[in-house]
Amino acid sequence: MQRSKFFKNWRATMPQMRVLPASFSASAIREELLPLLRMAGPVVLAELGWMAMTIEDTIMVGRVSPAAIGAVAIGGNLFYTVAVFGIGLLLGLDTLISQSFGAGDIDDCHRSLFGGLYLALFVSPVLMLATSAWVPLLRIYGIDPLVLRDAIPFFEAMMWGVFPLLVYVAARRYLQAMSLVKPVMFSLVTANLVNIAGNWILVFGHWGFPAMGARGSGWSTFIARVYMAGSLVVYIIYHAARNHTLLARTSRRPDWTRMKKLVDLGLPAALQISVEVAIFALTSVLIAKISATWLAAHQIALSVASVTFMVPLGISSASAVRVGQALGRKDAEGAARSGWISILLGGGVMFCFGIFFWLAPRFIAHIFTPDEAVTSAAAKLLLVAALFQLFDGIQTVATGALRGAGDTKSPLVAHLLFYWVVGLPIGIWLGFGLNWGAVGLWVGLCVALILIGIALLIVWKRRVHSLSRALAIVSP
């Protein structure tokens, strides 16, 4: 009797404890999951294609000299440290365009696209100037002269790719927000072919071109960036003409109000990405003080974790679009369902990766190096990575869902607080205070990611409730 009474009371309290939407049935899951997968699949492949370009550059210049590999690594990392801010600044297009598309206002989508392109035009010179500031710092930092000889020309060539990169980002966000993801995947897959061909011609000096080494790899990447931007712009024009969306009639004048909205939404996202990039860059510097073996192990573990991260990152982009489109239709329950299923999908995939990391860390590490000391060290870091894979998936997808709902500030606060105020001090204390070394620093990152995942999950739950109430008030 007592047990029966307990379950009766428990069922009675469940409506107040509900986290997922009321229509979260098996049929509702299937109805949402299929379009989500159709959108996320090509985007995940695009993200993996993005990473592949860096790998291609490294492999190609690796045939030139070890110094060229170091030059590409240093130049690429420094370039993206700055460029990622501009990429983040344009993420506000996810919110504006997806919500306008959901509301059926294609003309507003066009205006946001032009706003993003103007923002890219205005921001590019600033980012190029900031990027060029690394050159004198490289000269005084004490880098190996052979590496420096190749790093600066590679870096200077990469620098000219800022504007086409941001044009590509604006065009990509526009297409994704309108559920047109296959052109994005096509542009990145074929851009890898362009980059490979460019490296072959310019690095080694084929077809009458001089052998430029690392500098040639930088120019090859620039050409690939121009191709990516151009291919998406051409497709946008083609799609508009074919579907008579009246893109050509959209005003070309700068819309300062719209650009301000983009900055208001994109600036927190840009800062959040910069915070994350900076914490991993600082961790690399701190581990470099321990030993070359642990630095190599850190690079291996970080590379593996970066590959798995591309999956929830693609799901995150799809989630931002699905949530934004649902809100544009004034469908709060649909937005909640899209967000929750995306989070469950991203978390589930990363949980599986975590199991793989836990069961086979030495096997994974051995793929990268035959060195037993490095393999053993990397395996230990991969065991730590196994613990945060689930939460990394949750926080990444929750960030996308919140962006679709127009909230880019909560992820910034969570990343800033838990990475820098909690995770970093814990990592330094464990790493250097208790002599855990690189493992201690990674444990600090693990603690931060677990807390970020939990925090953003709570924020998303509250955002769902607030959106439901807001739309209920404005509904007739």
Which residues lie closer than 8 Å to 11 by C-beta, 6 or more apart? none
| Cα–Cα distance, 129 to 86 (Å, whole number) | 13
Q: Could you tell me which of 108, 53, 98 has the C-alpha nearest to residue 401? A: 98
pLDDT digits (tens, 9 = 90+) for 222-265: 999 999 999 999 999 999 989 888 888 888 888 899 999 999 99
Structure tokens at 398: 């929750």
Q: Where are the alpha helices (DSSP H) in 244-360?
A: 256-288, 292-328, 332-359
Q: Are 89 and 315 in contact (CB under 8 A)?
A: no
Task: Report the chain's C-alpha Rg in angstroms.
Answer: 23
Q: Name which residue leads in pLDDT, 82 or 418.
A: 418
pLDDT digits (tens, 9 = 90+) for 356-380: 999 999 998 888 778 788 889 889 9
Q: Are 376 and 364 in contact (CB under 8 A)?
A: no
Per-residue model confidence (pLDDT) at position 1: 45
pLDDT digits (tens, 9 = 90+) for 375-419: 898 899 999 999 999 999 999 999 999 999 999 999 999 999 999
DSSP 19-70: -S-TT--HHHHHHHHHHHHHHHHHHHHHHHHHHHHHHHHHHHHHTT-HHHHH
Which residues lie closer than 8 Å to 228 by C-beta, 6 or more apart? 164, 165, 168, 187, 188, 191
| Cα–Cα distance, 25 to 23 (Å, whole number) | 5
Per-residue model confidence (pLDDT) at position 100: 92
| Cα–Cα distance, 266 to 282 (Å, whole number) | 24
Q: What is the 3-state secondary structure (H, E, C) of 109-169?
A: HHHHHHHHHHHHHHHHHHHHHHHHCHHHHHHHCCCCHHHHHHHHHHHHHHHCCHHHHHHHH
Helices (H) and strands (E) in the chain, counts: 18, 0
Tell me the mean pLDDT in the region 267-276. 89
pLDDT digits (tens, 9 = 90+) for 123-160: 999 998 888 887 777 777 666 677 677 778 887 888 88
Q: Are 214 and 151 in contact (CB under 8 A)?
A: yes
CA 92 centroid distance within chain: 14
| Cα–Cα distance, 271 to 80 (Å, whole number) | 14
Query: Backbone dihedral region of 407: left (phi > 0), alpha (psi from -120 to 50 degrees) or beta?
Result: beta
The SS3 call for residue 455 is: helix
Which residues lie closer than 8 Å to 145 by C-beta, 6 or more apart? none
Q: Are 370 and 300 in contact (CB under 8 A)?
A: no
The SS3 call for residue 247 is: helix
Q: Could you tell me which of 214, 217, 174 has the C-alpha nearest to residue 194? A: 217
Q: Cα–Cα–Cα angle for 157, 234, 53, nearest 5°?
A: 40
Question: What are the C-alpha distances in Å from 314 to residues 42, 50, 77, 342, 414?
Answer: 8, 11, 21, 10, 21
Tell me the mean pLDDT in the region 312-341. 90
